[in-house]
Structure 1
Amino acid sequence: MNYQHIKKRLDAKDIIVLDGGTGTELQRRGAQMDTAAWCGPASLTNSALLTEIHLDYIKAGADVITANTYASSRLMLTGAGFGDRVAEINTIAVEAALRARDLAPEGRKVVVAGSLSHMVPVAEGTAVVDPTKTPPLNQISDAFHELAQVLKTAGVDHIMLEMMYEPTRVPLVLEAALATGLPVWFGLSARRTTDGRV
């Protein structure tokens, strides 16, 4: 129901306001980040803070809030020791966003997006991909499909593909998102290569 409201507004060429960064705001407000999975595991111990962050974005005018699931695929959580808790962590993250939507001021119709990135393991404490920890493409695809289905089951209104930049992983994550049958939004991220190309 909430998504249909946003869809009508989009069709009418209305401006839709997205929230700010969920993980970065969680970090800014003092939640402990993981060196392997950044903000992913933080949902386990910061559910109330996540709801507060989402609600603050709603009060600031956001029409769409994004669950803290950007760094929460099995690919990321395994390196942090939480690979067996993928469904639990992501469900908690979505529930925090849904609670914020329920607390939204009367008359506000807010959509909850499930963030799905194409992150793969990074060198500890950095944002640089660690090629020694990058699994084969079939395992990457499986992890994306798993997370997309968890997000759907948890109750997101649509899938938000965030920070898409890596050409070999983009088709895999897009396929996983589309397989849910939910609406999919696609966010690009421009990067400059070492030889100066964008």
Structure 2
Amino acid sequence: MSYQDVKRRLDAGEIVVIDGGTGTELQRRGAQMDPSAWCGPASLDNSELLTQVHLDYINAGADVITANTFASSRLMLTPAGYADRVEEINRVAVEAALRARDLATLTSPGRKIAVAGSLSHMVPVAVGTAKVDQDRLPSSDELANAFGELANILKDSGVDHIMLEMMYEPNRVPIALNAALATGLPVWFGMSARRATDGRVISFDQHQEI
């Protein structure tokens, strides 16, 4: 399913169904999560399980499935010891999604499924917390390089579009967005927010009042 198929349906006012969480579903099914990079490295040893997760979402009605690349930028993989496997990890993740699409079309030739490459602005957090590790906070150049690298790997691996997921940090958002747009692929932008106790809509990050 090319992105034009998705756009045509959206322009016509039709409903397009997106899958659920990929990393969280991998974790729920028993895949080992990395303490530093969460679900990022899991693609390496769980490609068959990952394909099954995607296939189950398709069978449940998803028109768009999302590659397990949410936490696999160089920023996340380097502290986990995978600096030399960034491209491999992301290609394996995309291949698992593409394989699921191929399997689905074998049994349902009329199904048209789009594969999105996930790109988040996730950065290393302090061990045992959900707070950004200020000692390892990347510079703007490091962010741009890492996001740009991942976006290009996703494009080269064959995704139909890039899905920016859980965007909420105002300094990192435009860097991630520019990296995605620079690929020339269609980009979906997903924001995350929450309500403060006084009813205001603020940053999803519970440690910031933005």
1:50 partnered with 2:53? no
* Counterpart AA for 2:43: S
Alpha-carbon separation, structure 2, partners of 1:39 and 1:53: 13
Partner residue in 1 for 2:140: 137
Partner residue in 2 for 1:16: 16
Partner residue in 1 for 2:85: 85
Alpha-carbon separation, structure 1, partners of 2:35 and 2:127: 5
Q: What's the CA shift string for 1:96-129, capped at 9, x where partnerless?
A: 0000000112211000000000011111243321
* Counterpart AA for 2:189: F
Q: C-alpha displacement at 1:162, in angstroms?
A: 0.1
Find 1:122's aligned residue among 112, 122, 125: 125
Q: C-alpha displacement at 1:76, in angstroms?
A: 0.2
Partner residue in 2 for 1:164: 167
TM-score w.r.t. the length of structure 1 is 0.96
TM-score w.r.t. the length of structure 2 is 0.91
Find 1:173's aligned residue among 176, 182, 186: 176
Identity of aligned residues (%): 74
> Alignment length, in residue pairs?
198
Q: Which runs of 5+ in 1 are unaligned?
A: none
Alpha-carbon separation, structure 1, partners of 2:195 and 2:91: 35
1:190 partnered with 2:193? yes
Alpha-carbon separation, structure 1, partners of 2:168 and 2:148: 19
Partner residue in 2 for 1:97: 97
Partner residue in 1 for 2:28: 28
The alpha-carbon distance between structure 1 residues 125 and 51, as it changes in their structure 2 partners (threshold 3 A), is: farther
Alpha-carbon separation, structure 2, partners of 1:191 and 1:176: 26
Q: C-alpha displacement at 1:195, in angstroms?
A: 9.3
Alpha-carbon separation, structure 2, partners of 1:28 and 1:185: 26
Partner residue in 2 for 1:69: 69
Give the root-mean-square deviation of aligned CA atoms: 1.5
Alpha-carbon separation, structure 2, partners of 1:52 and 1:31: 13
On the 8 A contact 1:35/1:126 being kept in 2, the answer is: no
Alpha-carbon separation, structure 2, partners of 1:189 and 1:83: 28
Alpha-carbon separation, structure 2, partners of 1:37 and 1:195: 34
